[in-house]
Amino acid sequence: MTTWTEILRTSEARIAEEHALVLEAVGIVSGNAFAFGQYVLLVPAEDAARARLELDRYVRENRVGPPHAAAPEPLRRSAGSALVYAAVLVAMDAAQRRGAFGIDWWSAGVASARLIEGGALWRSVTALCLHADGLHLASNLAFGAFFGVMLAQSAGFGVAWLAFVLTGGIGNGLNAFLQSPSHSAIGASTGVFGMLGVQVAHDWVRRRELHYNLFRRWAPIAIGAALLAWLGGDGRQIDPNALPKSINELNVELPRIDVWAHVLGFATGLSLGGVFGWSRPRIRWTTPVQIALAATAGGIVLWAWWLALR
């Protein structure tokens, strides 16, 4: 007569059936019983020890919990990189207003649609360093530093500032080909909204992997779109008196905040952020990698200005 021993009790029939199949696969006879609202898995007493061992091994090998959110970047690195960003913009603004080194920085770097369509693609990047007036500069300093620190905390300082340069440059370039030849763009805001787009897409991907519910998963998209509409659609007029006289020689128009540049920067950021969010668990984003990415961002800006001034 066979003596049966209980080795599992669960309220889910699926788990009881799954474990029974595991035992069957290793040649252990088992049986299921239902008592007091519980599913009970039974095996012959002489096989109980081996059955428990096999089930413990199965559970260990198949225990896959949700991925954990990555540890945030140290705040000092994120803040330090934002200070470098601010210092570069302030230095460039001073240089353009004083005509440093006898250079007309505006004429050399403004993102003229006509000139970009003619092949001067570097202007899509150099224009990120130019601003119309103090208010224009201050807003991009504030929001750029804020979004930059936020993205650096999520993805690393190197990713954040390379994203700024890439999304800003691509956004300005796309905008130039969509606008009339007389259109022109200036300011860091295309890259600022690009960083926001990267943050939004990155958070969306990570929340999906962390099995958040539908509302929490789509919250970053809704928040990002709201910020874009609120901050990126300002119709403030740029004071013509604040522009250098040399800008008129290029026959360009700088009438308003460039909403399309903001939208295209944000859209580019969404694309890059989605790719980054998907690839992040598969790549080791170590500190040396982040430094290399930040150096690449600086190198792209220097290379663009070298092409502009050569």
Q: What is the DSSP string of 153-212?
A: HHH-HHHHHHHHHHHHHHHHHHHHHHS-TTBEE-STHHHHHHHHHHHHHHHHHHHHHTT-
CATH dotted code for 4-61: 3.30.70.1530
What residues of the chain score a pLDDT lower than 50?
64-68, 234-242, 248, 250, 255
| pLDDT tens per residue, range 201-260 | 888 887 765 555 555 555 666 666 666 665 555 444 444 444 555 554 545 555 456 788
pLDDT value of position 256: 58
- Distance CA(47)–CA(59), nearest Å, equals 18
| Both tokens assigned to 35 | 């008592």
| CATH 1.20.1540.10, the chain: domain bounds | 75-309
Distance between first and last Cα of the chain = 96
The CA angle 168-109-265, to the nearest 5 degrees, is 15
What does pTM read for this prediction? 0.70
- Distance CA(57)–CA(62), nearest Å, equals 9
| CATH 3.30.70.1530, the chain: domain bounds | 4-61
Residue whose pair of structure tokens reads 């403004």 in the numeric block? 110
pLDDT value of position 277: 79
| pLDDT tens per residue, range 14-46 | 888 888 888 888 888 888 887 777 888 888 888
Query: Going by C-beta distance under 8 Å and a sequence separation of 6 or more, which residues neighbour residue 86?
Result: 141, 144, 145
Residue whose pair of structure tokens reads 């910020």 in the numeric block? 227
Backbone angles phi, psi at 7, to 5 degrees: -125, -5
Query: Going by C-beta distance under 8 Å and a sequence separation of 6 or more, which residues neighbour residue 142?
Result: none
Tell me if 145 sits within 8 A of 157, measured CB to CB.
Answer: no
Backbone angles phi, psi at 37, to 5 degrees: 75, 10
Q: Which of 216, 197, 195 is nearest to 206 (CA)?
A: 216
Write down the CATH superfamily of domain 75-309: Rhomboid-like (1.20.1540.10)
pLDDT value of position 310: 86
